[in-house]
Structure 1
Amino acid sequence: MQRRPVGSSGLEVSRIGLGTMTWGEDTSPAEAGEQLAAFVDAGGTFVETADDYGGGAAQQVLGGLLRGTVSRDDLVLAGRGSAIDAPGRGGTARASRAALLRSLDGTLRRLGVDHLDLWQFPGWDPRVPVDEMLSAVQVAVYSGRARYAGLVAPQGWQLATVAAGAGAGPDPAVSRPVSTQVEYSLLAREPEAELLPAARHHGLGILAWAPLGRGVLTGKYTDGTPADSRGASALLASYVEARRTEHSARIVQSVLTAADGLGTSPLVVALTWVRDRPGVATAVVGARDAAQLRASLAAEDVTLPAEIRTALDDVSDPVR
C-alpha cells in the first residue's frame, strides 16, 4: 500500500487507514485480530483509536493485539482524546492541560505502549487558552509520550487560530499540529468550505473518517436496512440514519452507476474518491469483519478516471 506524508510533516501513513470504533462492542476481539492482521498484510500502517470507543474497550482490544497479533513497530498509532474528559471531571475543562495529559496517559495504559505516533486532541475548547492546549503538546512530545499532534474536527478559523498560536510559541516545531481528523465523504463535503483550505494553508494533513458515508455509499441501504448491517445495530442505527436522505440517495445512485461502468464495487468508488482528494493523507475505514475490510483494501489498485471523478464532484456538490 502506498504511503503519504501527513501535511508538511515527516510523518508518513498508509493512504488507507484502519478505524477501531466498534472494537470491543460490535466487533469481537477475534474479529478485530483478523482485521488487523489483514490490514498489516496489505501494507497498511495507520490505525486510529479513541478513548471513547466503547468507553475504552476498543483500546483495550487493540492493546491486546499489539502484544500478540502484530508488532507495535509495524503501525502508526493515532490516539484521540475525547469526551471521557468532559467538563467538570477532576475539576478541569475538557481541553485543559490536566485533562489532555490525563487522557493521553489513559490511552497509553490501555494500549500498553509507551508512546503514540500521533496524539489527537479536541480542536477547540472556548474555556481553555490556546497556549495552554499547546503546552500540553510540548509536554507530551518532550516526555516521549507522543511524536506528533493533531486536531479533531475543528472549524476552519479554530484550526487557523491554533496553528498561528503554535507558530508564535517558544518551540513551534514541537507544538505545531500536523493533522486534522474530520468526517469527509461524497455525503459530507462541508469541510471543503473552510477547514480544508485552512489545513492546506498551514501545512496540516487531512485524516478523513467515514469516507463511505457511514456505510450509505456502499449501496446496501438502497432497498431497506439489511439485518446484519450497522444501520440495524442498536449502537449505530442513528449514526447511519443521519446520512440516509433524499439528497444522499441521488449521490448513491451515481456511485452505483460509476461502479457498474468500472467493473468494481460502489465501496471502492466512494473510498477512492476521498482518498485522492487534495490534502488527504489517509482515508480511515471501519469494518464489521476481515472480509469487509479486504473489500475496502481493494481500492488500493483503483484510480478513478477524470470524467467519473468530475461527475461525482458535480452530483455531490454541497452548493448545488
Structure 2
Amino acid sequence: MINFDFASLRLIGLTPAIANQLHALAANFSEDATLQVARITEVHRDSLVLHNGCSSVQARALPRLLHELAADELSMAVGDWGLLSGTAVSGYHFIACMPASTHLARRNNEGRLQALASNIDTALLVMGLDNDFNLRRLERYLALVHAAGVAPVVLLTKADMHPHAAARLAEVEQRLSASVPVFAVNGLSSSTVELLSPWMSAGQSLILLGSSGAGKSTLTNTLASSQQETDAVRAGDNRGHHTTTARSLHLCPGGACIIDTPGLRSLQLNLDEEALSASFADIDALAAECQFRDCSHQSEPGCAVRSAVDEDRLKNYQKLLRETRRNQQTPIDKIAARSKWKVLIRSMKERDRLKHG
C-alpha cells in the first residue's frame, strides 16, 4: 500500500475518489519502495513532466505502458494520474496510468484520436469579443466538453476593449442553453478570479479551451499568478499567434489547478449522436413535438424546431450531425456511400445528356 500526502496532492487536483483508485493501482507494485503518486503536467515527444504535490520531475514512460495504452487506442495526456518509480539519481519512470474519470480528445486531420486533457472538472471556453467571436465554433467546443462529461463555463474576453460587450453577452446567452454560465471578462482583472471562484476551490481541475489570441494565457497568468508568455493579436485582422505551444498544468493560489492549451486550428469532434443531442438539448426536446419522428428540420410540414430555434444554431447542429454520422461510418459504410453517390452522379449526367440531346 502506498502512502502519500493528501493535502499537498490536493493542490494538483487529488480527490478522495481519485485517491482510492490510486491506492488500488499501487497494490500491484507494493514491492517498489520508491513508488510515489504524480500527475502529468506536460507531455513531450519522448518524456513527461509530472508533479508529485511538492515539485516537478521529468520522467519517461515505460514502453510496456505505452503499448498497453496504444492497444486501447489511448495515449497519455496532461491531467492523467499515475505512479512514478525511481529516484533523482537513478532517473524516474512513469509505470502505471490511472483510467481517467473524464477525457477530452479530438480527431486530427487523419481521423485519429488526439488526447487534449484528462480528469477535468470544468472547461473554461474562451472566446474573444474581437474578430475571434464565432458562435458556431463555440457550440463545437460545448459539444466536445458535454460529450466528455465536463462542466462548461463560457468566458468572453477583452470585454474592457469592446464597445458592445453587453450586447454580445446577451447574444450568446440567448443562443445557448440557460444551464451554461456565460461571463464577459477582462482577463487582466483580479475581479475575474472572484467571478470564477465557485469553480476554483481546492481539488478542482480546470482547462482553458479556445482559439489562438483569445486570451487563454493571459487568463492563466491572472488565475494562477503565473508568468505564461503572452502576445498581441495581429494588427490587420485581430488573428492570434500561437503563444502557448503545449498543454501545461498550473497551480492556483486557492488550491485549484488549471491547464492552458494551445489554440486549436481545427476541432473535429469525437462523439456520437446521443452526445451531440445532449449538447443541443433544446433541439432534442422540441424534436419530440415534430409531426414526423424522423424529421430533419429542413422542409417537412409540422416541424416544431424550425420556428423555435435560431436559424444559424439549427444549421450548425445539422452540420455537426452530418460530421458525427460520417465519423461513425465503418470503412465498408464509406465505400457504400461513395458508390451510391457515383451512381447518382452518373444518373444525373445521363439524364442531362438525354435532355439536351
Structure with greater strand share of residues: 2
Structure with greater helix share of residues: 1
- TM-score bin (small chain): 0.3 to 0.5
Q: Which structure is higher in RCO with an 8 Å CA cutoff and minimum separation 6? A: 1
